[in-house]
């Protein structure tokens, strides 16, 4: 048995989900991997929030240094979201030799060079499976099993909140605002849902995917992006009349050294596999020059699916160190 102590930065929806999944599956993980994982410190101001699970008060701290300087903590999970202080905290942990796991696509997409330089300096591991596609293990697939391929295209539905809204508007005639509120209540949306509905969250994810698939850094701000805020019930009815549904599609194509990309609401014929991707589910298509087409499908948002990816990274790192 190997005891592994973990520091958690942020206990919002995903942090709480990760704590709960670890509690639920601790015995299974111990039995199958020999790893005794324990979250021993949590950086969080909202100590008294009802999280639906008893959490010992003494593991909460309001001082990041308590986690950074705890020699027993070898892995830090960053779930604060946003650029700062998340990026600086990750850098400091990595430079100090602590391994970092994050779901923070905004920080990974914008500050990739800073974070990876810190990991190199500290000889630490950095994992970010949960940053793209929620519970779909796409980062792992791209960086391991598919790495013998030249990947020429990556496309799909990469945001659970907008897909949930479009599904509820299309299938149940719900108003945009009502569907967004539901997505927020279910823990799919970002703290500021503008990032979801205006497509910036997808831009972060497509930027990360293109870095991994094409070896090309395209900053999220440089990806032509249209969100779903202008989609009306009339647009949805018009798509329906043509045998289609509207989906927010991300697309990146590599042609030699050139990369083209965009994010936009798109009419998808109801016979197309992407039309069947509903609610918070995401789907990702890749084209590799050996494997040909690959499609991955699963829950792209929500506390438990995202926790699955976070803890998968933690287990992988804990096995390696
Ligand atoms: N807000 C994101 C979404 C969370 O709705 O897809 C998962 O990245």
Residues in the chain: 321
190 lines ligand 1 (CB under 6 A): yes
pLDDT score recorded for residue 39: 98
Hey, which of 104, 161, 183, 202 would you mutate to test ligand 1's pocket, going by the most ligand atoms within 8 Å of its Cβ?
161
pLDDT in tens, 104-158: 999 999 999 999 999 999 999 999 999 999 999 999 999 999 999 999 999 999 9
Give the model's confidence band at 29: pLDDT under 50 very low, under 70 low, under 90 confident, else very high: very high
Report CA(123)–ligand 1 centroid distance (Å).
30
Atom of ligand 1 nearest to the CA of 105: 8
19 lines ligand 1 (CB under 6 A): no
Indicate which residue's Cα is closest to atom 7 of ligand 1: 301
In the chain, what are the domain boundaries? 2-134+303-320, 139-298
129 lines ligand 1 (CB under 6 A): no
Given the DSSP bridges, would you call strands 126-127 and 99-102 parallel, antiparallel or unpaired? Answer: parallel
pLDDT score recorded for residue 191: 87
193 lines ligand 1 (CB under 6 A): no
User: 2-134+303-320 with 139-298: one CATH topology?
Assistant: no
| Residues 6 or more apart whose Cβ sits within 8 Å of residue 201 | 105, 106, 158, 159, 161, 190, 195
With contact defined as beta carbons under 8 Å apart, do 195 and 81 qualify? no
Hey, which of 201, 206, 299 would you mutate to test ligand 1's pocket, going by the most ligand atoms within 8 Å of its Cβ?
201
Atom of ligand 1 nearest to the CA of 132: 8
Residue that the structure tokens 């969100």 belong to: 227
Region 139-298: CATH code: 3.30.360.10
Domain 2-134+303-320 homologous superfamily, CATH: NAD(P)-binding Rossmann-like Domain (3.40.50.720)
Report CA(235)–ligand 1 centroid distance (Å).
24
Known catalytic membership, residue 287: no
Mean pLDDT value of segment 216-233: 96
Annotated catalytic residue: which of 41, 105, 168, 205?
Answer: 205
Report CA(224)–ligand 1 centroid distance (Å).
19
Q: What global pTM score does this model have?
A: 0.97
Report CA(43)–ligand 1 centroid distance (Å).
22
With contact defined as beta carbons under 8 Å apart, do 300 and 14 qualify? no
pLDDT score recorded for residue 112: 95
Report CA(299)–ligand 1 centroid distance (Å).
10
pLDDT score recorded for residue 309: 98
Mean pLDDT of the chain, nearest integer: 97
78 lines ligand 1 (CB under 6 A): no
């Amino acid at each position: 048995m190997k005891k592994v102590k973990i520091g958690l930065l942020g206990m919002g929806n995903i942090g709480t989900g990760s704590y709960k999944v670890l509690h639920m599956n601790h015995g299974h993980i111990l039995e199958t991997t020999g790893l005794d994982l324990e979250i021993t410190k949590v950086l969080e101001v909202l100590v008294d929030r009802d999280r639906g699970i008893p959490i010992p008060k003494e593991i909460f701290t309001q001082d990041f240094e308590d986690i950074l300087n705890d020699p027993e903590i070898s892995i830090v999970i960053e779930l604060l979201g946003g650029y700062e202080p998340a990026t600086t905290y990750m850098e400091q942990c990595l430079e100090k030799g602590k391994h970092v796991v994050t779901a923070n696509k905004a920080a990974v997409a914008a500050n990739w060079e800073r974070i990876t330089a810190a990991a190199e300096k500290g000889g630490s591991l950095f994992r970010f499976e949960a940053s793209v596609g929620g519970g779909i293990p796409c980062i792992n697939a791209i960086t391991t099993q598919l790495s013998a391929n030249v990947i020429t295209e990556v496309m799909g539905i990469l945001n659970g909140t907008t897909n949930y809204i479009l599904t509820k508007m299309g299938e149940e005639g719900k108003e945009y605002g009502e569907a967004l509120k539901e997505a927020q209540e279910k823990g799919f949306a970002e703290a500021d849902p503008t990032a979801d509905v205006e497509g910036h969250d997808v831009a972060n994810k497509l930027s990360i995917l293109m870095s991994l698939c094409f070896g090309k850094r395209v900053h999220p701000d440089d990806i032509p992006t249209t969100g779903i805020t202008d989609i009306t019930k009339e647009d949805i009815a018009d798509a329906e009349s043509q045998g289609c549904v509207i989906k927010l599609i991300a697309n990146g194509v590599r042609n030699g050294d050139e990369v083209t990309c965009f994010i936009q609401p798109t009419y998808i014929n109801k016979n197309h596999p992407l039309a069947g991707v509903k609610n918070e589910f995401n789907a990702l298509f890749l084209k590799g020059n050996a494997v040909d087409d690959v499609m991955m499908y699963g829950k792209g948002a929500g506390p438990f699916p995202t926790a699955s990816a976070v803890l998968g990274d933690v287990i992988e790192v804990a096995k390696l160190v």
